[in-house]
Amino acid sequence: MLWVKAFHIIFVISWFAGLFYLPRIFVNLALVGDVAGAERDRLLLMAGKLYRFITPIGALAVGLGFYLWFGFGFSGGWLHAKTLLVLGLVGYHLGCGAILRAFMAGANRRSHVWFRVFNEVPVLALVAIVILAVVKPF
């Protein structure tokens, strides 16, 4: 179980690193706009590669988390709340994919300020998830 837990934590950290950085790239893409150019192309390439890299990592993090839950029988209201937050992060991740496709199609209509706020969502989720997992308040 400790090996599974260790790899779950490694994949969670890696997934969050991507979820922190990908919206940062979106901020820069929003700043350069839809004008074709080397900077925009480079940012789209970076965002696409990052998204493809963190998608299986996120799947492994979630999969190992569910394995730990159902395989070893953890319980408590904190775990249900944590699971809801994780499912919200999965939605956030998929939303990042939709945003990336919009940028690639030249169809983004959101400002860099919107993406700066959007970038804070995984930070807030991380704080709540760590508190739930460590403190287990209920």
Q: Supply the pLDDT for residue 71.
A: 84
Instruction: Tell me which amino acid residue 6 is.
Output: A
What is the pTM assigned to this prediction?
Answer: 0.94
Q: Which residues of the chain have pLDDT under 50?
A: none
In degrees, to the nearest 5, what angle opens at C-alpha 108 toward C-alphas 115 and 15?
Answer: 50
Domain positions in the chain are 2-135
pLDDT digits (tens, 9 = 90+) for 62-78: 999 999 998 877 788 99
CA–CA dist 132, 82 (Å, integer): 6
